[in-house]
Chain A
Amino acid sequence: MDDILEIMKTRRSIRRYKQQDVPDELLDKIMEAGRWSPSGDNAQPWRFIVVRNPEAKKAMGKIATEGSGRRFTAEYFTGHMQERFRGLKDEEKKAKAFKKLRSGAVSSFLADAPVVIVVCAKLDVWDVPYDAAMATQNMQLMAHALGLGTCVVVAPVSDMRDDIKTMELLKVPHGYKIVAPLAIGYPDESPNPRPRLSLEEIVYYEAFGERRKK
């Protein structure tokens, strides 16, 4: 049981990949992990589109870049971005981060991932987002266990304006939606763990806000 916790704790969101092909056998294992996820009524609403075509990935990357660029430009002009980065004292690094966010380049790596598995879901079930999100998480953990890196990139589908374009690009029919494009490849970076809230900060007992009685 410690092994699975170790896999969870060492997983990172990987945004830079080696230009090395990911064998089909490994992708099959990743999707097998998704297939065994829990779902309401055992509806199994997930469907997976494996995208290797460079043109399709490039188009998704463009949609993602534009979406993120709009969103972060808005965040910059309201001052919320500056507030979010208040802790970063290195002004040069801060300016670089702002530029990357405002240009949307933060999401453009989707085009460079060797493979993107687009997690879709059938809509005529009761628990679409929960089911599909659990499948995505299973797949991320499996990929990490196999030595692969992943990152969920919602930028091409979070906004309706972009979602429509991506659905058309991948020929996703009515009655289905895209939940999570998942970039996959061999990691070409090893990011440090991001800060985590402590259990004391997030756990209550019996009712929200109630701390453990000592």
Chain B
Amino acid sequence: MSQTINMKQMEQKLQKADRKQSRLYLFCNFTALAIISAYSALMLSPTVQRVFPEGGDSRKQMYMIFVMTLAGCVVFTIYALGLFFRHKSGQLGILMAIGTSRRRLAPGLFREVMLLSGMSAIAGTIAGFPFVWIIWHGFRLILVDSSDMALTFDFRCLFISLLFMLLVVGFACLTAWRYLKKTNIMEVIREEHINEPVKEPGRWCGPVGFLLILAGAVLGYGAPWAFQAWFHMYSPPWAGVFYAPVFPGLYMVMLHTVVHGWRRHKRNPYKNIISRSMMKFQGRQTVNNLLVVTLLIAGGCFAVFYLPANGVSMMMRYASQPYDYFYKYQADQDVPERDEVEALGKEYGLTFQEWGECVYVSLGIGGSTDIEEEGMRFRVEYVPMLNEARVLSEDAYRTLTGQEADVEPGTYLSVTNQEETSLSVNQSAREFTNMVTRTQLDTEFAGYLHYDLLVDDMYCCVLDNDDYDRIAEGLTDEWKGRIVQFNVDGKDSYAFAKAFYNRFVASFDETCERHRHYDRVSKIRYDEAGEEYWADTFDAATVSYENSDSFMFRQFWVYQPDFRILDQNDYLRNMSVLFMMFLFIFLVCLVTAQVVCYTRCQSIALNNRYVFDDLRKLGASPAFLDKEVRSQCANVFRVPSLVGMSGMFLLFTMILYANDGRITRAEWITMGVCLAVLALIGVMIYGVYRGSVRAIKGRLGI
């Protein structure tokens, strides 16, 4: 050997030898950035933004889970960095010990750290886009395709990735600087063996933690209700603080898991002493990791529950629909009459039966409503012309539904669904108003009628025949309408339904190009009060005939018909963007959680390598070592998964119950489907657990 060698070459050689450690760090960074980049690309994509209602719960849900994912990614990049430096510190310590100054070490270290973190971050950010593209197009290819799903990117999402990238690189440099600043060289050398034990709490810790979680969930969920009922004010934004006990509760549960475990081995208290002590001595980081994993799994479940929650009730609704075709329209629109519909049906070889139709009128209905005051407060006030209501006469209702409807003069019956879970029922009206003549009919609530097809966002009421005739007098066609329903004799045809749908939409003029939340009576009331009606200035409250096949139109057009075969077949297509997004969120959360678990297990193994070596020297059999590794990994995977999944399932159940004060049949089935989904998630997590065990055993040579 006669070549020269300098510091830079030596550092390069050392870096080359550290490939294994670097690879784990690169992998974690790359994965985190790919996840963040993909999530933000999808979240901010115009395709998704168009479909998720502005200010809607699903959008909030999407953002909330993004924050959780971000937190997860921050944790595991920091964690991977910690692992990398733990190894690196040995090297730094040796070099410092034999007289390398910090100034001499700094350039090489910063170069390495910036190169690794920067390179992986850039690669991850770039990879996020094809990742989204592949998943999205895979979904389109395998499951459903629609024009709504054409994926476009808003490249502003790069700002989020860029910020995260800077955070990753910045934190890496900061950690490098922190190591270099350590004055005690022995500390640097021994960093690899430094433990972070947690203070051991009593066995009360876990149960109290569970109580806190429960208390937080109940308080948080009940807070908006309590504000409204007790203080007559809307829940302020800070009311989320009532959920706060959940977090110390979760921490205590995880701490209990790490320190005590959940099984008492009275006969053999030393049964898990080795695996338990290994976890305990890395306690602080382990607890933090378990917390993040729990939240990610809970977030993933929250997202994936959206699919059955929506799908089951819709599918059940389609299945229980008594008529194949049901639609309503304004009297002044040129909608095909019966003979035209039948002629169209003939073209598709269809004949119809049980044809039924009736007329209705649109009236102003009074009701109690919240009037906003200063400081989030509100008062409940009765407003005579509160909303638009679809009103049928007794005879019309009987003709349409075949049900008896005996309405006393001066009263009204509200139409609701069979399970009485609809929110569009009015029990407080004292009068109906003819919006053309402004005559009023005094009335009072007398009970319910049940007909699912008539239930939508508009109140639907039935009046005594004479009352109906009196109040409807003088109404123009724009305040009158017709409801039609019929069944197909034999097997229905999707092609017919599609053709009829297109013809149906085409027959409406622009006066009916309204969002279902656009209330004509409210609009008049606001105009007369000289106030601005919210829907006039809210872009999301508009629909366009140009997109009559889109999700938004079908979801929100005021005259959207119920064509069973069309709705059933197009359901997935129409909901595809929402479903795709939530499925994606679920996958991202699950993948992030599993990466955190995997790296945690790896680090426990690496940090305790010497324990396993000692155990081997003390005569521990491979089977015993295998059991210890499994026990370690099981603790990391099992508790966060169980707590995350069961916690979210309970919260979901609470939400279903709180919607209408009970669990409906569709909701029971939804819960069953969710449990099946949880079982599937459990199987997936078990697969990763097995993989982690295998990898650790490989590293430890067991």
Asked if chains A and B come from one complex, the reply is no
Chain A residues in contact with chain B, CB under 8 A? none
Chain B residues in contact with chain A, CB under 8 A? none
